């Protein structure tokens, strides 16, 4: 009786080992190829440079939203700014980022929007959304 149990256990162990080996063979290497890694590094650099072209207020809103995981309402509370201002900054920042990443230059209308909305300016700057 004990021998039969030992044989069954041995078969299970060898089947489990075979299953594990089969599973390992089926797992593909999902890591990016060298070309993909180079492209990803370049993309990160482009996005970082584009973020650097935003005003400090716009950059802060995007960083809190996308890297910090905060909602626009939480950002408004945290920065003690009106929710509408935060929403506008986020929208304009995303539009400006898109323009920079697509063409390499910020959209010309972004300065015009800030010029017509004094609440979007920062202290000591003429136009800074």
Average predicted confidence (pLDDT) for the chain: 76
CA angle 63, 69, 71 (to 5 degrees): 95
HSE-up of 129 (CA within 13 Å, CB side)?
26
56-120: CATH topology is Arc Repressor Mutant, subunit A (1.10.10)
Query: Which secondary-structure segment (H or E) carries 89?
Result: helix 83-103
pLDDT tens digits, residue range 58-83? 999 999 999 899 999 999 999 999 99
Please enumerate, as own/partner, the contacts of 99-103 that have beta carbons within 8 Å and a separation of 24 or more.
100/50, 100/53, 101/46, 101/47, 101/50
CA 128/CA 110 separation, integer angstroms: 9
pTM of the model: 0.55
């Amino acid at each position: 009786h004990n021998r039969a149990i030992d044989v069954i256990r041995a078969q299970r162990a060898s089947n489990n080992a075979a299953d594990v080996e089969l599973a390992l063979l089926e797992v593909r290497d999902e890591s990016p190829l060298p070309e993909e890694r180079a492209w990803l590094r370049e993309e990160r650099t482009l996005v970082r440079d584009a973020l650097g072209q935003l005003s400090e207020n716009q950059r802060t809103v995007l960083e809190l939203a996308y890297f910090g995981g905060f909602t626009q309402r939480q950002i408004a509370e945290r920065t003690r700014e009106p929710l509408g201002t935060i929403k506008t900054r986020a929208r304009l920042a995303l539009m400006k980022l898109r323009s920079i990443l697509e063409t390499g230059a910020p959209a010309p209308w972004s300065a015009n929007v800030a010029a017509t909305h004094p609440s979007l300016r920062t202290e000591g700057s003429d136009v800074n959304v």
